[in-house]
Amino acid sequence: MSKPSNCSETSSITPQCQYYVVRKKRLCRMTVRPGRQYCGEHEPRPKTDNGKDDLRIPCPNDPKHTCYASKLKKHLSICNARQQQQPDYIILNINGSTDTEDCPRLPLSKIPLKTISKVIDKVNILYDKYLKDKIPMLSEKPIHTTVLDEFNDPGRTESSLRHLRQASRLLHVVENEGFVKPNTCFIELGAGKDYALRCITSTGVLDKVSGLALATCCHHRCERAACLASRPLQGLGIDAEDFNVLLGVVSWATCGDGRSRDARKRPLADSRTHTRTQTRAEVTDDDGENYGTKNLNLSQERREIIGKRAKMLLDWGRVLYLKELGFDARLVYYVSSTVSLENVCILAKKIS
């Protein structure tokens, strides 16, 4: 559910969409054309030639976005999601996993409470053994010259600046790690983290790779059959069922506490009741067994800590995978959590 915004909670410099997305508790981050208040997705309905409101309909190419019904023909001709002829070197799912999923993932609300508790215990034990106090924070660096002009653009939104800070730090990282050399090809592999790892470690490619810097995120979107951390973590006691619970727990690190912006601005004393045990979905079967997370009795702060540990454990599994293939791999914090809550990076160098 979303609604138009009547507040001025936006940059005075940047033309940002004024549509307030209730589900995300913030304004839409799309930019708008000069003189407009809303992006194309949230612009109030225009009138058709007969005076009726024009309707926005799901795009037939990709229902994740919409277009005006009266302009559908034009939209389909320019839509970024339209079918286009691909060059020969693009092969569908070439870096996908050939493994089949033998343990379907379930939402936490359908998993027994005792199973969730068991996985949380494993997360804490493994974190304390392998990761506690062992992930260094990289020292701060000035904005890299490559992105400095973009960073100094007065029209940048704060979210855009945060993204540039991350890009800047990663540029410094690849330089400091010695990856910047003559006759070296640099490839940005996009958002598919395990697909990227599978690409650079595939036959015929692995021997050409000197190293990588991989800033991880979106762990909740992983699938066990495709995630390269699954097998190494299985060797540490995380079986298929545990792994799927892990994929549900990781979202606790970044999903927030459900409070509105106004509530978060209140003094701590005013919000104590909210930061205590959170109400979560729970069901009970015919045998009286509890399902879901309600009776875990975890504070929001504790949930976030467990979620972050679960994320780091998944990344540690990827590190172990790279170590098996001859890389000197490790985890680092490459930016502070004030820049991004997803602030862990995998660094790996091929051992010569």
**Rounded Cα distance, 315 and 229, in Å:** 7
**Rounded Cα distance, 32 and 34, in Å:** 6
Distance of CA 203 to CAs 22, 95, 210, 232, Å?
A: 47, 11, 15, 20
Model pLDDT for residues 179-218, shown as the tens digit of each residue: 988 888 877 776 678 999 999 999 999 999 999 999 999 9
For residues 345 and 173, is the Cβ–Cβ distance under 8 A?
Answer: yes
User: Greatest CA separation found in the chain?
Assistant: 72
The predicted pLDDT at position 10 comes to 41
Helix (H, G, I), strand (E, B) or coil at 94: coil
pLDDT band at 288 (very low <50, low <70, confident <90, very high): low
As given in the structure block, the two tokens for residue 311 are 């994320």
Question: Does residue 93 surpass a pLDDT of 90?
Answer: no
Residue with tokens 């981050």: 29
pLDDT band at 97 (very low <50, low <70, confident <90, very high): confident
Model pLDDT for residues 107-129, shown as the tens digit of each residue: 999 999 999 999 999 999 999 99
Q: What is the pTM of this model?
A: 0.74
